[in-house]
């Protein structure tokens, strides 16, 4: 009788030879081919890993988030006329830039342990290589090659995007019509590598940048500059544990070099179909019609009910990087 050697997705994924950093930085075609050829295998491996570790693994969900934010969001979904309670939780830094407590500090260690377990899984993960390749980051959205495909994380990620970020960005930033599509990645800044980020804007309608440092994980440096186009001034802020900053993608910003410790963040974007983002004045919304054309919609014409709604179109496969 012929013996059939048993293999499983997790073992096969761990045995893969990942493309080098140099090839990734060059955007060599072999890099995309590797991730695309192994997409199904990696998705199966993540599902198998989660099932194998179900008794010891946190399953991330909304309970990780700040209680005040969770309550305000829940109330607004039930009755959009209560959305002002959500807005009240956000402090305006400059026009188009706001911050709030996003993670519950008492649960942040649980989430960080989950991310550390993910790193130790030995399943290949693709590092972000937008402006630069961040060695310790990973891709979070299914549109991305080599993304974090554990079923529980994807459910948590979709909740953050659909229940939290999209209505919040519509409420604070006026992104209605340019927020059908999602994108996300994690990053880590270290003094010896990936220590800063020069001034840039994002290819997004809205960016939500969430710090995941624990209260006792201190760092120096890594101040973030936001440039206020209206006043011509630069405003500086520093991430605190579990806090998030949401801003329009077109607000110029930069990160100073980190000089000690490390800073870890989740960064998620919203934009329209085919990466459409608002152009020109922010006093109006852009609404993408069914034929792909953009129709301006006056600010006052977007209702609370529209802000607290889900897109009715499908997700596309366009990824910024």
Tokens describing residue 185:
């990645």
At CB < 8 A and 24+ separation, what contacts does 24-27 make? 24/126, 24/127, 24/129, 24/133, 25/129, 25/133, 27/129
Measured in degrees and rounded to the nearest 5, phi and psi for residue 172 equal -90, -35
For the full predicted model, state whether its pTM sits above 0.75: yes
Rg of the Cα atoms in the chain: 20
The torsion defined by the Cα of 138, 140, 143 and 145, in degrees rounded to 10, comes to: 20
Give the pLDDT of the chain (321 residues) as one tens digit per residue: 444 344 699 999 999 999 998 898 888 999 999 999 999 999 999 999 999 999 999 999 999 999 999 999 999 999 999 999 999 999 999 999 999 999 999 999 999 999 999 999 999 999 998 656 677 899 999 999 999 999 999 999 999 999 999 999 999 999 999 999 999 999 999 888 788 888 899 999 999 999 999 999 999 999 999 999 889 999 999 999 999 999 999 999 999 999 999 999 999 999 999 999 997 544 444 433 333 333 444 556 899 999 999 998 889 998 898
CB 226 within 8 A of CB 93: yes
Query: In the prediction, which pLDDT does 192 show?
Result: 84
Token pair in block for residue 89: 């939780």
* DSSP single-letter state for residue 86: H
Q: Go through the chain and tell me how many residues it has.
A: 321
Beta bridge partners of 211: 265
Give the per-residue pLDDT at 293.
Answer: 34
pLDDT at 135: 73
- The predicted pLDDT at position 195 comes to 84
pLDDT value for 3:
40
pLDDT at 198: 87
């Amino acid at each position: 009788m012929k013996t059939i050697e048993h293999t499983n997705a997790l073992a096969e994924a761990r045995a893969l030879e990942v493309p080098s950093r140099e090839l990734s930085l060059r955007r060599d075609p072999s890099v995309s081919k590797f991730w695309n050829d192994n997409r199904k295998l990696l998705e199966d491996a993540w599902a198998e890993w989660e099932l194998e570790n179900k008794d010891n693994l946190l399953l991330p969900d909304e309970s990780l988030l700040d209680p005040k934010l969770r309550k305000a969001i829940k109330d607004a979904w039930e009755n959009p006329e209560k959305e002002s309670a959500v807005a009240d939780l956000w402090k305006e830094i400059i026009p188009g830039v706001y911050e709030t407590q996003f993670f519950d500090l008492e649960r942040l260690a649980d989430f960080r342990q989950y991310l550390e377990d993910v790193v130790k899984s030995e399943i290949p993960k693709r590092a972000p290589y937008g402006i630069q390749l961040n060695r310790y980051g990973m891709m979070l959205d299914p549109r991305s090659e080599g993304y974090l495909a554990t079923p529980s994380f994807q459910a948590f990620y979709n909740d953050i995007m659909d229940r939290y970020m999209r209505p919040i960005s519509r409420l604070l930033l006026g992104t209605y019509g340019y927020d059908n599509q999602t994108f996300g990645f994690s990053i880590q800044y270290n003094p010896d590598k990936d220590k800063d980020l020069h001034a840039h804007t994002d290819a997004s309608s809205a960016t939500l940048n969430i710090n995941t440092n624990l209260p006792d994980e201190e760092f120096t440096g890594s101040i973030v500059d936001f440039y206020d186009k209206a006043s011509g001034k630069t405003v500086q802020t520093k991430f605190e544990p579990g806090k998030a900053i949401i801003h329009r993608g077109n607000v110029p910003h930069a990160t100073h070099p980190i000089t000690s410790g490390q800073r870890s963040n989740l960064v998620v974007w919203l934009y329209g179909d085919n990466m459409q983002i608002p152009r020109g004045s922010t006093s109006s919304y852009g609404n993408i019609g069914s034929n792909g054309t953009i129709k301006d919609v006056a600010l006052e014409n977007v209702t609370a009910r529209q802000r607290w709604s889900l897109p009715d179109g499908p997700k596309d496969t366009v990824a910024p990087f």
